[in-house]
A and B are shown apart, each in its own frame.
Chain A
Amino acid sequence: EDQVTQSPEALRLQEGESSSLNCSYTVSGLRGLFWYRQDPGKGPEFLFTLYSAGEEKEKERLKATLTKKESFLHITAPKPEDSATYLCAVPRGTNDYKLSFGAGTTVTVRA
């Protein structure tokens, strides 16, 4: 069965303290891996799509990387405004639309 597991569940960082979030997946024939950011009371906001092992994408202080079994979201020198829950998702089964989400990593950045 396709599964997406994120770790850690929660991450508390000091402003400027870089760290990484992990998303491991078990799915046959990966058709892309998505990262989203979700703020309390809001819907997920799209960040990145990764398609193949070795691919990297960056946006401001965030960089996402992909291997054959997992993806990492690196947060470099985070600021308090980076505090959010970060979700990863992969398409489930043989289709490209039914996303399976992990439970997310809640990041809190203290000033």
Chain B
Amino acid sequence: GAGVSQSPRYKVAKRGQDVALRCDPISGHVSLFWYQQALGQGPEFLTYFQNEAQLDKSGLPSDRFFAERPEGSVSTLKIQRTQQEDSAVYLCASRGDSYEQYFGPGTRLTVT
């Protein structure tokens, strides 16, 4: 079956612009996660959804970051008023009945 997909794959934003990153999880996966990965580092947890409920948003770096999953499938990570420090790869992962998280290819965000 299809894996996790993310779009766009690359995004360049001018500082101060708003961006929206999309994640399509594996069909039927209840749990969805967003991570941020800086160059040369491992992914850092941002937020967790179970179906449409956002159960943990403790990793979101500021109130400029907002995530939603209104129908319990597709999720969007929105960053308002982007700053240079927001430049990173944003990864989405989903999990079904097993314990493992399956990752998408990521969106590379560059803020200029």
Q: Which residues of A contact B (CB under 8 A)?
A: 4, 32, 34, 36, 41-46, 49, 87, 89, 92, 95-104
Contacts and interface: CB of A to CB of B under 8 A. Distances in A.
A38 to B, nearest CB: 9
Given A43-B4, A43-B104, A43-B105, A96 B99 contact: yes
A99 B103 contact: no
A42 B106 contact: yes
A102 B103 CA distance: 16
B65 interface: no
B103 A44 contact: yes
Contact residue range for chain B? Answer: 20 to 34
A101 B44 contact: yes
A51 to B, nearest CB: 9
B105 A92 contact: no
A103 B40 contact: yes
B42 A97 contact: no
Nearest to B43: A101
B66 interface: no
B31 A89 contact: no
Contact of A46 (B31, B42, B101): B101
B42 A49 contact: no
Nearest to B105: A43
A87 B108 CA distance: 19
Interface string B94-112: 0100011111111010000
